[in-house]
């Protein structure tokens, strides 16, 4: 058993286990007891060790007495298990912590004196990062940033002692900040534990369970969501406490692995999205002749636990952290109130599942990159023999024109023009090279191959063998297709192909003409496969008996207000148009926007039992447009129907969410500061024992009838720091407006 050296937040920042045999000056590396050292005295005196004898079985052991400045220590240890005395000369507190007593030293305050912690067989240097972490309590996010930088500098670095960061309270405040805004934070798992009721005491309970390794995750609640194909996808919903622990673990793993992941991976990574994956294809797949569309069958459900833990253990040498990962993987799930064990896979819906999948599939990324190194082969010749032959003739004519005159010159000019037209139609670049390109998003990947179909078949076979042998999963045969680049390959909802276009345009240096589109990647909207099914599913359109498509009113929106109706259409329109903003045939969405607009008008007309013409006349703005007026504090405004063309921005897609609000708006009022203030934001009480977070799903759902609702509406917050009694009254719906 070991004791802990804690700060006032309860985080164990030093723990040493050493025996001290009689007469030995240096403390060995192994032990069955705890020793704490807090070195240099503020007045410059060095704390010393005394020797105290205690019989243990047949052998006697010596235990050191550690001197600690009294102005920095709260003495609250059990008297029967600890020995303490005050040395007036040094004004130090002398402690003797016996084996297995579970005592702790709690730091109340600090000064700028450069203490050095003493323990083990070494002294901690004054200027090291370790000293700063322990003695000045650097924010954990800064420490994780340093871990990330170390991982970036040395890709093969092995990390140890990461579990200690699971015991730092500031990470749990950050985890709550990351989770509470999500609508899923109010969704219950197998119990009533949600984001509502978060408090400092809850963090302390979690840290205590993690510190003594008694934490056991609850099984996830199993539910199902419908896929685009009509099949049902299983979804696991953990309890909010488990979500907090998983989020903290995710942040630690992300700091270690994010610099290690390759650039070809784009799924579930910061500052990466579907658009970054598609842009990398548009930039790097030029001239590709074959596509290999890859898909792993049931990827999340078939991840081998032993293989995953083995991969993580090669990078992280921390038994306690590995044990926690095992617990999360083996937590199981409940379906129809019946418990089921999990033997493989990570639950879809789990916070750690995406990074577990990326760590697992990183092995696939490395395999394909190594495969590309062995496959790639430079061109034997730059140009085709046919092109080179015509180019040589043109060069010969160019030299002859220098000295040619009259009739000979006219004939040479005629021949030159004929050869130039022929040169344009002749294939230029030789296809003797071999090249392999690879992009992955989650379990979907696309491989571009310069080679023949036999090369693609061999690559597919090698991938299947690696996935089956190393990853213990199966490559989906029906979804893993070999497609020529002249035809469309499907990736992330886009149709991808390589243009074969001999059209000559001005685009070269010095106003030279060239085949600007030949060999370029084209990303297209699959209008018939994606857009039209969406319109039919949403009941936006219907098909007449003669096969014509016409807009239709949506009966599900008839009871909504006019503003809610147009907002629903705008959200759906912008969502699809933003996603397909980098498509080459983006203009095709004009027809989609037309169908959405007139379906919206028909819905409004159906609500008011009117006609489209009357609705447009009623809501016209006098400038040729129409929109729904509404009142604000700043005056009367108008909500216009969205324009699809406003979403066209090939270089700055709008799926990238700005973090400006997070960086600037909440810097002075973080949840941690609000809880630490110990002031109830409802009744103003400052003497309560516990303060908790009252959390709601959406601010717009509040009606403003209760006082707490009015406060949250005024603050425009989903959270409210309240005392325990106020929180109980809120949930009993008995809190009345105070005078």
Lowest mean pLDDT among 9-18, 388-397, 410-419: 9-18
- Cα dist. 686→368, 675, 677, 728, 735 in Å? 60, 11, 9, 17, 19
- Cα dist. 121→27, 118, 124, 201 in Å? 5, 9, 10, 37
Do 647 and 581 contact (CB within 8 A), yes or no? yes
Report helix, strand or coil for 630. strand
CA dihedral 173, 176, 181, 186 (to 10 degrees): -140
- Cα dist. 288→483, 494, 500, 515, 520 in Å? 11, 17, 11, 16, 9
Do 721 and 679 contact (CB within 8 A), yes or no? yes
Confidence of residue 737 (pLDDT cuts 50, 70, 90): very low
The model's pLDDT over 257-279, given as tens digits with 9 standing for 90+, comes to: 999 999 999 989 998 999 999 99
- Minimal CA–CA distance to 706: which of 677, 661, 736? 736
| The pLDDT value given to residue 430 | 64
Phi, psi (deg, nearest 5) at residue 52:
-130, 130
Tokens read off for 34:
């705890």
| The pLDDT value given to residue 15 | 32
- Minimal CA–CA distance to 205: which of 215, 195, 196, 197? 215
The model's pTM = 0.74
Greater confidence (204 vs 506) lies with 204
Report helix, strand or coil for 638. strand
Do 557 and 605 contact (CB within 8 A), yes or no? no
How far apart, in whole angstroms, are the C-alpha atoms of residue 731 and residue 721?
14
| The pLDDT value given to residue 447 | 94
Do 639 and 630 contact (CB within 8 A), yes or no? yes
Rounded to an integer, the average pLDDT of 604-617 is: 92
| The pLDDT value given to residue 257 | 95
Phi, psi (deg, nearest 5) at residue 50:
-110, 160
Tokens read off for 413:
């000019």
The model's pLDDT over 516-563, given as tens digits with 9 standing for 90+, comes to: 677 789 999 999 999 999 999 999 999 988 889 999 999 999 999 999
Confidence of residue 309 (pLDDT cuts 50, 70, 90): very high
DSSP 329: H
Rounded to an integer, the average pLDDT of 629-651 is: 83
Q: Report the half-sphere exposure of 189 (CA within 13 A, side-chain side).
A: 22
The model's pLDDT over 331-367, given as tens digits with 9 standing for 90+, comes to: 999 988 899 888 888 877 889 999 999 999 999 999 9
């Amino acid at each position: 058993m070991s004791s802990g050296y804690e700060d006032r937040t309860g985080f164990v920042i030093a723990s040493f286990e050493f025996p001290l045999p009689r007469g030995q000056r240096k403390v060995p590396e192994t032990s069955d007891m705890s020793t704490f050292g807090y070195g240099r005295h503020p007045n410059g005196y060095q704390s010393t060790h005394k020797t105290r004898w205690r019989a243990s079985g047949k052998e006697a052991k010596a235990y050191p007495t550690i001197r600690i400045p009294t102005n920095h220590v709260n003495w609250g240890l059990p008297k029967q298990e600890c020995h303490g005395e005050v040395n007036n000369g040094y004004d130090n507190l002398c402690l003797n912590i016996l084996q297995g007593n579970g005592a702790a030293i709690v730091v109340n305050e600090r000064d700028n004196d450069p203490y050095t912690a003493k323990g083990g067989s070494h002294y901690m240097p004054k200027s090291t990062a370790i000293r700063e972490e322990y003695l000045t309590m650097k924010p954990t996010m800064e420490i994780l940033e340093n871990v990330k930088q170390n991982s970036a500098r040395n890709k093969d670095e092995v990390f140890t002692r990461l579990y200690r960061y699971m015991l730092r309270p500031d990470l749990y405040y950050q985890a709550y900040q990351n989770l509470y805004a999500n609508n899923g934070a109010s969704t219950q798992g197998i119990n009533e534990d949600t984001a509502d009721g978060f408090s400092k005491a809850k963090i302390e309970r979690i840290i205590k369970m993690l510190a003594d390794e008694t934490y056991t995750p609850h099984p996830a609640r199993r539910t199902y969501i419908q896929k685009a194909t009509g099949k049902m996808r299983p979804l696991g919903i953990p309890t909010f406490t488990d979500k907090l622990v998983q989020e903290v673990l995710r942040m630690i793993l992300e700091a270690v692995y994010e610099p290690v992941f390759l650039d070809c991976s784009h799924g579930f990574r910061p500052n990466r999205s579907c658009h970054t994956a598609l842009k990398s294809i548009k930039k790097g797949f030029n001239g590709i002749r074959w596509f290999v569309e890859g898909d792993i069958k049931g990827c999340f459900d078939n991840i081998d636990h032993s293989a995953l833990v083995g991969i993580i253990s090669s990078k992280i040498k921390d038994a306690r952290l590995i044990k926690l990962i095992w617990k999360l993987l083996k937590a199981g799930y409940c379906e129809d109130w019946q418990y089921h064990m999990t033997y493989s896979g990570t639950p879809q819906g789990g916070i750690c599942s995406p990074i577990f999948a990326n760590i697992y599939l990183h092995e696939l990324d490395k395999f394909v990159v190594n495969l590309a190194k062995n496959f790639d082969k430079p061109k034997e010749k730059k140009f085709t023999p046919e092109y080179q032959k015509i180019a040589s003739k043109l060069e010969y004519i160019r030299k002859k024109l220098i000295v040619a005159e009259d009739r000979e010159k006219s004939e040479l000019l005629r021949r030159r023009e004929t050869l130039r037209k022929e040169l344009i139609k002749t294939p230029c670049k030789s296809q003797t090279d071999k090249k392999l390109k690879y992009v992955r998003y989650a379990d979907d990947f696309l491989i571009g191959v310069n080679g023949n179909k036999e090369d693609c078949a061999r690559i597919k076979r090698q991938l299947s063998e690696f996935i089956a042998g190393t990853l213990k999963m199966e490559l989906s045969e029906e979804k893993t297709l070999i497609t020529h680049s002249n035809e469309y390959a499907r990736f992330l909802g886009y149709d991808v192909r390589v243009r074969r276009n001999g059209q000559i345009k001005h685009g070269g240096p010095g106003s030279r003409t060239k085949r600007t589109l030949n060999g370029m990647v084209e990303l297209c909207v699959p209008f018939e496969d994606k857009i039209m099914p969406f319109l039919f599913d949403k009941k936006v359109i219907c098909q007449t008996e003669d096969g014509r498509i016409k807009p239709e009113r949506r009966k599900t929106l008839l009871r909504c207000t006019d503003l809610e109706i147009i907002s629903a259409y705008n959200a759906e329109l912008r969502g699809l148009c933003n996603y397909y903003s980098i498509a080459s045939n983006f203009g095709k969405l004009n027809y989609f926007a037309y169908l959405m607009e007139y379906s919206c008008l028909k819905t409004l007309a159906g609500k008011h039992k009117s006609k489209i013409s009357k609705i447009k006349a009623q809501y016209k703005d006098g400038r040729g447009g129409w929109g729904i007026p509404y009142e604000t504090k700043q005056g009367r405004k108008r909500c216009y129907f969205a324009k699809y063309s406003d979403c066209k921005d090939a270089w700055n897609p709008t799926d990238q969410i700005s973090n400006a609000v997070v960086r600037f708006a909440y810097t002075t009022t973080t949840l941690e500061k609000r809880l630490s203030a110990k002031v109830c934001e409802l009744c103003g009480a400052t003497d309560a024992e516990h303060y908790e977070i009252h959390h709601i799903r959406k601010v717009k759902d509040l009606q403003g009838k209760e006082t707490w609702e009015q406060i949250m509406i005024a603050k425009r917050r989903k959270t409210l720091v309240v005392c325990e009694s106020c929180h109980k009254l809120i949930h009993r719906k008995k809190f009345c407006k105070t005078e």
